[in-house]
Amino acid sequence: MLSPCRQAVLSAFRRHNCRLFSATQGREAKKGLVLGIYEKEKNGESARFTEAGAAFDSYLSGKLSQMLSISGPPVKKGKSRVFYGLHEDFPSVVVVGLGNDSAGVCGKENWDSCKENIRAAVSSGCRVLQDLEVPVVEVDPCGDGQAAAEGALLGLFDYDDLKSNKKFKVTTRLHGSTELAAWEKGVVYGEGQNLARWLMEAPANHITPTVFADTIEHKLAPYSDRVIIHKRPKPWIEAQQMGAFLSVSKGSDEPPVFLEIHYNGNPDNSKAPLVLVGKGITFDSGGISLKPPSGMDAMRADMGGAATVCSAIVTAAALRLPVNIVGLAPLCENMPSGNANKPGDVVKAKNGKTIQVDNTDAEGRLILADALCYAHSFQPRAVVNAATLTGAMDVALGSAAAGVFTNSDWLWGQLHKASVITGDRVWRMPLFQHYSRQVTDSQLADLNNIGKYSRSGGACTAAAFLREFVTADHWAHLDIAGVMSNKDEVPYLRKGMSGRPTRTLVEFAAGLACET
């Protein structure tokens, strides 16, 4: 309970704030400021500002500290508090809680807690100012300019392209100049994930296979000196004998596209390229094995693998990463029609293996099978595929992490290291022969697309199926079905499609570029 004197001071402060806020409403080019503050230490040390926050408070002769002390309890981690009229250049100042300033890499959580705290806090502050319709926001780097920029860009994104009432648009800038390079890098990382979110969120009648490929081509156009794009049409796919891919696409009136991207970030490098492969089902009805109607609209994002892979390559090009990458995305719809796959059909993949299709809703592994066969033609340094492949992955890990199935300890280490930095975690899953035997025991063909026990270990049997089309020593399959969307689990992402794990793929590629 506040004392009468303290209550009177607080009431006067609030009235003062309201008057100043009202007075600034008519000013042009309003700017807001987001500043970080660390929580009180257990040893009794009081809460303290970041370097930028302390400088701002010092400029105001301690007025911000004074206002904080009378405005309520300390600002908790990830929360914010707004003040008005303290500075003529910044009519609105938001103080955001960063948690403990001794936070770092947490072995239990498998991420860098400091970076995650910054992303969440900055996101919270930027959203407060967006709600106040502040058009320009300067952001305290909070000791990590990249994480701050990621929090700002990711936190403000909202897919409202098709709405009449859109979110207020906010421009974010770095406050100060000490972390400019890191901030700019974070902006590119954030924009990359937001591109994947945009692709995944857009309706399926707006993002067809052809439109998807055209969109990526447009995004890569500024980097044409380092990028070559092939939008392979159906005749090329037929010539490549990609029978599994074609069998899925034939149920739709939309023509399939096999998108092939070559990013030559280091043309003088004699090392083989990294090959990234993404599942590109732009809408998944389940085919003849029709999905239930509840939630089917979310299957517009079943091309999340292709979205994250292609967005990662766009980001790598924007960053000019000195690494060579080949991106492959088989793009089509999975629809029911008189031409569609029927349960029990047998199709032949590019490598000659026959597949019994007992469930047409297990189509992602069919299109990836042919793409993985083709990936080996580039003599890759490593092959990484990403796919919203199985609901079983969501059951296993939920939205906490993407599941990784890999035949390479080295590759697992690289992916895990990248995910600790980005906070977009991965978790290793088993590739036992136990699962392989379930998909190779097929009545009519070499392989069965769902295995003997369709309800048991579904994510693992799907990975085992893909392994039948891999000969590379370093291959990893990322099942991203569980991280496809966000409700409220990741505080710096709004509800909707997440675009995960785009930043982890970028960080992974950047790590390979640094390897000798």
Strand partners for 36: 96
Helix axis angle for 209-220 and 304-319, nearest 10°, is 10
Amino acid making up residue 9: V
Cα diameter, the chain: 84
71, two tokens: 């405005």
Phi, psi of 382 (to 5 degrees): -160, 150
User: Beta 31-38 vs 48-49: how paired, if at all?
Assistant: antiparallel
What distances in angstroms separate CA 32 from CA 37, 121, 132, 139, 230, one per listed residue? Answer: 16, 15, 10, 9, 44
Q: Alpha helix locations (H) across 88-179?
A: 113-131, 145-156
Helix axis angle for 364-375 and 458-467, nearest 10°, is 30
Q: Give the integer Cα–Cα distance in Å for 441 and 453.
A: 11
Q: What is the three-class DSSP state of 13?
A: helix
Q: Give the integer Cα–Cα distance in Å for 137 and 116.
A: 20
424, two tokens: 């977009």
Amino acid making up residue 458: G
Q: Give the integer Cα–Cα distance in Å for 495 and 291.
A: 23
Q: Give the integer Cα–Cα distance in Å for 261 and 276.
A: 10
CB-based burial, 445-459: b 16+ in 10 Å, e otherwise: bbbbbbbeebeebbb
Q: Give the integer Cα–Cα distance in Å for 273 and 270.
A: 9
Judged on CB neighbours under 10 Å (0-12, 13-18, 19+), 206 is middle
Identify which of 243, 394, 223, 242 has the alpha carbon closest to the alpha carbon of residue 313: 223
173 has catalytic annotation: no
Q: Which of 77, 350, 365, 381 is catalytic?
A: 365
Q: Alpha helix locations (H) across 157-277?
A: 180-201, 209-220, 234-239, 243-249
Q: Give the integer Cα–Cα distance in Å for 12 and 248.
A: 68
291 has catalytic annotation: yes
Q: Which of 79, 234, 250, 291 is catalytic?
A: 291
Strand partners for 105: 112
The number of beta carbons lying within 10 Å of the beta carbon of residue 409 is: 10
Task: With residue 300 as reference, give the H or E element that holds it.
Answer: none
Q: Which residues are catalytic?
A: 291, 365
